Amino acid sequence: MSVHHKNDMDLKQEMQLVEAAKIDPARFNVLYDRYYKSIFVFIYRRTADEDVTADITSQVFLKALINIKKYEFKGVPFSAWLFRIAFNEVNMYFRKNSTNRVVSLEKNGLHQIVQEVEEGENVDAQQRMMTALKQLDVDDVQLIELRFFEKRSFAEVGTIVGITETNAKVKVYRILDKLKKILGKKNN
């Protein structure tokens, strides 16, 4: 089970908080306290700049508060909606600024993706995998990042990116195939 999963009770409680915030924006503070750190970390892992992250995070919560009345529960935690806003804000930041994207990964995540594409498990394979990742489109890298480096469920990946769960699954497996081909070419 991923760290981002919640049980039905949690989801119900969270929905009550959302409904309260829809009526009185000041009640949003509970959700703000609960998710500030995770949204901040999500953005920081993609920008690696503290001040930029602080700016984007405040923008995310402002947009969330302005649009909270439009929020509808779709079976995934409220945080997935916040992550979606954060995801879009980060993309907007990179469109406006010509700085390089940052992908923060743990060796475990890299190890997992290396296993998925059936590569030998050694340091060289991990290095080649990183080079292969650089050859993917930005959208593909983001999907890999969400699924393997942040260990999110396909439902959550779909919500964040704005596609269905099935579509997220299909896309991730297509990207893995692409990686296999890239690594295969390199080996030949």
Among 18, 44, 87, 146, binds other proteins (CB under 8 A): 44
Number of residues that bind other proteins (CB under 8 A): 39
x/- mask, other proteins, residues 124-153, rule CB under 8 A, reads ------x--xxxxxx--x------------
Q: Give yes or no for residue 91 binding other proteins (CB under 8 A).
A: no
Cα–Cα distance, 39 to 25 (Å, whole number): 19
Centroid of chain to Cα 70: 22
**Which residues, other chains included, contact 71 with Cβ-Cβ below 8 Å and sequence gap of 6+?**
18, 22, 78, 81
- Between 132 and 157, name the residue whose CB sits nearer to other proteins: 132
83 binds other proteins (CB under 8 A): no
Q: Which of residues 3-32 bind other proteins (CB under 8 A)?
A: 25-26, 28-29, 32
- Residues binding other proteins (CB under 8 A): 25-26, 28-29, 32-33, 36-37, 40-41, 44-45, 48, 50, 53-54, 57-58, 61-62, 65-66, 100-107, 110, 130, 133-138, 141
